[in-house]
C-alpha cells in the first residue's frame, strides 16, 4: 500500500477535485503544470535559495536535553518556529508564489482564519511585488487585530467576509468566488494540505523540505536517518505532511498526528476532525469532516486558532483510516500546560498549535531508547496574550 497520492489525485478514498464547473479551468491549469514546474531546475534553484537566504533554512534539529530527561526518552525538536514569520507556513507560500510567477499570474488571493497564512502570503507578495488580497471573516478580523495590521503593513488588502458565521469557511467561499471571477491573472494560495487536487499534493511537496532535512540532521546526530516516532499537530495538516513526507512509506517510523480536542472530544466544542468526522466534501476535496446528521458542517472549536478547522487534508484522512498514523487528541488544558512546560524546561515558547503536539508526552509512554522528532511548527509570540490570560501571569 502506498500512502502517497495516486495519479488520479487521491489518497486511498480521499482527495480528488470536487469543484464547480466555473473553477475547472483554473484548477486544471495548475494540475497540468505543477509537477512540470516544480521539477524544472531553475524553479528548484530559486526555491532552495529563498528557503536558505530568506526563510533561514535549514531549521535546526535540536536535542531537547531537559525535556528528554523529564520524559526519559530522546526528544528532538524540529525548529520551524525559527523560520522567517515564525512558522512552517512560509515554506508553502514561497513555493506557491514562485509557481504563480511561472504561470504568469500577477494577482494573488488567499483566505485566512487566524491570519497566520494571510501574513505568510502577504510576506511573499511583498517579496515579489505582486498584488495581494486576503479574505478574512469579519469576526476573525476583530479577533486577530495584530495579524490584520501586519498584512496591511506588508501592503496587502484585507477584505472582510460578511456572510455566514463570518469566519474561515466564509473567507474561503469569498476567495473561491474571486478566483472564478478572475481566472486569468489570479493565483489562489491555499494555506494547508486541503482543497481540490493538486493543492494537497503541491503543498505537501513544498513542506516536504522539513522531513528531507530531518533525515540528514538525524543521521549526523544519531547515525541513522529514521527516528522511531515523528509527531506533529494537525489543523489542515501541512506541517505534519511536511514532517511525515519522506517517512510515509517507511512503516518502521511511527507517525503520530495530534488534533485539538478543545474542551473535550465529546463536549461539542472541539476540532478532533478524524475521530469525530465522517466522509464528506469540503473545499473541493473528499475527506473527513465534522458534520451534523444531515451533512451540515459543524463549527469547530479549539483554543488555538490554527487547529480550528472542521476538516482535515485527504492525506491525513487516509493515514487515519489505514492506521498508518496514530491520531491522538489533546484538550485546551493539556496543550496550555505543555506550552508552559516547554517554555520553562527549554526556553522555547511554542505556538499553542504546537503545544498540542508536545502534550502527548504526558499522554503516551515512550521507551528510554526511543528517538522522537516533534515538529515545532511555530513560535508562541502571537499567542502570548492567550497564555497570559490562561495562566493569569
Ligand X SMILES: *Cc1c(COP(=O)(O)O)cnc(C)c1O
Q: Which is nearer to ligand X, 102 or 284 (CB)?
A: 284
> Between 60 and 99, how does the x/- string for binding to ligand X read (CB under 6 A)?
---------------------------x-x----------
Among 82, 303, 348, 351, binds ligand X (CB under 6 A): 351
- What are the distances in angstroms from CA 136 to CA 94, 111, 153, 159? 21, 6, 16, 6
Contacts of 256 (CB under 8 A, 6+ apart): 229, 230, 231, 232, 325, 326, 327, 328, 360, 364
Part in contact with ligand X (CB under 6 A); list of ranges 71-79, 145-153, 294-302, 351-359 = 351-359
In the complex, minimum distance from the CB of residue 237 to ligand X, in angstroms, rounded to a whole number: 5
- State which residue, 74 or 234, has the beta carbon closest to ligand X: 234
Q: Which three cell numbers stand for residue 142?
A: 476583530
User: Considering beta carbons, is residue 123 or 354 the nearer one to ligand X?
Assistant: 354
Report the residue from 124, 189, 234, 325 that binds ligand X according to the rule CB under 6 A. 234
The single residue of 74, 89, 286, 382 carrying the catalytic annotation is 89
Instruction: Please pick, from the candidates 195, 196, 262, 306, the single residue that binds ligand X as defined by CB under 6 A.
Output: 306
Stretch binding ligand X (CB under 6 A), from 46-54, 210-218, 231-239, 358-366: 231-239
**Is residue 46 among the annotated active site residues?**
no
Residues sharing a CB contact under 8 Å with residue 100, sequence separation 6 or more, in sequence order: 108, 130, 187, 189
Binding-site member from 26, 147, 239, 329 for ligand X (CB under 6 A): 239
Which grid cell is 7? 495519479
To ligand X, the closest distance from the beta carbon of 245 in angstroms equals: 13
Q: Is residue 311 involved in binding ligand X (CB under 6 A)?
A: no
Q: Interface with ligand X by CB under 6 A: which range of 209-217, 221-229, 234-242, 258-266?
A: 234-242
Mark whether 377 is an active-site residue: yes
CA distances from 23 to 14, 179, 188, 197 (A): 20, 7, 11, 12
- Segment holding 328, helix H or strand E: strand 325-331
- Binding segment for ligand X (CB under 6 A), chosen from 50-58, 235-243, 317-325, 331-339, is 235-243
Region near ligand X per CB under 6 A, out of 26-34, 70-78, 233-241, 250-258: 233-241
Nearest to 173 by CA among 137, 209, 202: 137
Q: If 0-12 CB within 10 Å is exposed, 13-18 middle and 19+ buried, where does residue 378 land?
A: buried
Count Cβ atoms below 10 Å from residue 183 Cβ, excluding itself. 13
The whole-angstrom separation of Cα 80 and Cα 116 is 14
- The number of helices, as runs of H, and strands, as runs of E, in the chain is 16, 14
Phi (first) and psi of residue 327, to 5 degrees? -105, 125
For ligand X, give the closer residue by CB, 16 or 235. 235
Cα–Cα distance for residue pair 254/212, rounded to 1 Å = 17
Catalytic residue among 74, 78, 111, 353: 111
Determine whether 157 is an active site residue: no
Please give the residue ranges that form the binding site for ligand X (CB under 6 A).
87, 89, 116, 192, 233-239, 306-307, 351, 353-354, 377-378
Q: Which residues are annotated as catalytic?
A: 89, 111, 377
Amino acid at each position: 500500500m502506498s500512502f502517497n497520492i495516486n495519479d488520479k489525485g487521491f489518497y486511498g478514498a480521499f482527495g480528488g477535485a470536487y469543484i464547480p464547473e466555473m473553477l475547472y479551468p483554473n484548477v486544471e491549469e495548475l494540475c497540468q503544470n505543477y509537477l512540470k514546474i516544480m521539477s524544472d531546475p531553475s524553479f528548484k534553484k530559486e526555491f532552495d535559495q529563498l528557503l536558505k537566504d530568506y526563510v533561514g533554512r535549514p531549521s535546526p534539529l535540536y536535542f531537547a536535553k531537559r525535556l528528554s530527561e523529564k520524559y526519559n526518552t530522546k526528544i528532538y525538536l524540529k525548529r520551524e518556529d525559527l523560520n522567517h514569520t515564525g512558522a512552517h507556513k512560509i515554506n508553502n507560500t514561497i513555493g506557491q508564489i514562485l509557481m504563480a510567477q511561472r504561470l504568469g499570474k500577477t494577482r494573488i488571493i488567499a483566505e485566512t482564519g487566524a491570519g497566520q497564512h494571510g501574513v505568510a502570503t502577504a510576506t511573499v507578495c511583498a517579496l515579489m511585488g505582486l498584488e495581494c488580497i486576503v479574505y478574512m471573516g469579519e469576526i476573525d478580523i476583530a479577533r486577530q487585530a495584530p495579524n490584520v495590521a501586519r498584512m496591511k503593513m506588508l501592503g496587502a488588502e484585507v477584505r472582510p467576509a460578511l456572510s455566514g458565521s463570518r469566519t474561515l469557511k466564509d473567507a474561503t467561499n469569498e476567495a473561491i468566488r474571486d478566483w472564478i471571477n478572475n481566472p486569468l491573472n489570479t493565483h489562489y494560495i491555499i494555506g494547508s494540505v486541503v482543497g481540490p487536487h493538486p493543492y494537497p499534493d503541491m503543498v505537501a511537496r513544498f513542506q516536504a523540505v522539513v522531513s528531507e532535512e530531518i533525515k540528514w540532521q538525524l543521521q549526523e546526530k544519531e547515525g541513522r536517518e529514521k527516528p522511531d516516532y515523528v509527531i506533529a499537530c494537525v489543523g489542515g495538516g501541512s506541517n505534519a505532511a511536511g514532517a511525515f513526507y519522506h517517512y510515509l512509506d517507511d512503516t518502521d517510523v511511527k507517525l503520530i498526528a495530534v488534533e485539538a480536542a478543545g474542551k473535550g472530544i465529546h463536549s461539542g466544542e472541539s476540532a478532533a476532525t478524524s475521530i469525530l468526522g465522517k466522509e464528506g466534501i469540503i473545499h473541493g476535496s473528499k475527506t473527513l469532516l465534522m458534520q451534523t446528521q444531515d451533512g451540515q458542517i459543524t463549527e469547530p472549536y479549539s483554543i488555538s486558532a490554527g487547529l480550528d478547522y472542521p476538516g482535515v487534508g485527504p492525506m491525513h484522512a487516509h493515514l487515519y483510516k489505514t492506521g498508518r498514523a496514530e491520531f491522538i487528541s489533546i484538550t485546551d488544558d493539556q496543550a496550555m500546560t505543555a506550552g508552559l512546560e516547554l517554555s520553562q524546561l527549554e526556553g522555547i515558547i511554542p505556538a499553542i498549535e504546537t503545544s498540542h503536539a508536545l502534550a502527548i508526552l504526558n499522554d503516551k509512554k515512550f521507551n528510554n531508547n526511543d528517538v522522537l522528532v516533534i515538529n515545532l511548527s511555530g513560535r508562541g509570540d502571537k499567542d502570548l496574550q492567550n497564555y497570559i490570560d490562561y495562566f493569569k501571569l
